[in-house]
Amino acid sequence: MQRIILAVVVGMISFSAVTAQTNNKLVAASIARGKTVYLQRCMVCHQADGGGVPKLNAPLDASTAVNGSDISKLVKYIVKGLNDRIEIDGEFYANAMPAADDLKDQQIADVLTFIRSNWSNKAGPVTLTQVKQIRSKLK
């Protein structure tokens, strides 16, 4: 009986280690794809270092929203664009961010996962399921 319990425990530990490894690989792949989206669609304004352009384009590096838990807001900005001239971390930005609604759900998850984990940002990944759910409610 003890052996069975031991085997089950060892099994569970190695299973979760394998799952964690698979997860890390999936996240790394998402980040790599997201970087491509970023270079093609976002870098022109938000810059290679994510620092944006003072008074023109908001920085994504060290941004409260980018690192925050409100994923809906981030998905909405990409799908609908952002031209509200809202105060972002104490600053205002004069440029308008165009909607990128031609991006696929996976590409949005990837680019958000990339910006949330790049530069000094250390926020968790955004999944395809999250983007699908949020996007289906955006009208």
How crowded is the C-beta side of 106, counted as CA atoms within 13 Å? Answer: 7
- CB-nearer residue toward ligand HEC: 11 or 68: 68
Among 79, 97, 131, 134, binds ligand HEC (CB under 6 A): 97
Tell me how far apart the alpha carbons of residues 36 and 34 are, in angstroms, rounded to a whole number: 5
Instruction: Identify how many contiguous H helices and E strands the chain contains and give both numbers.
Output: 6, 0
Among 58, 71, 79, 131, binds ligand HEC (CB under 6 A): 58
How crowded is the C-beta side of 55, counted as CA atoms within 13 Å? Answer: 0
Residue 98 near ligand HEC by CB under 6 A: yes
Please give the residues from 26 up to 55 whose contact with ligand HEC meets the rule CB under 6 A.
41-42, 44-46
Instruction: Give least dist CB 58 to ligand HEC, A.
Output: 4
112, 60 contact by CB (below 8 A): no
Q: Which residues bind ligand HEC (CB under 6 A)?
A: 41-42, 44-46, 57-58, 60, 63, 65-66, 74, 77-78, 82-86, 88, 93, 95-98, 100, 111, 115
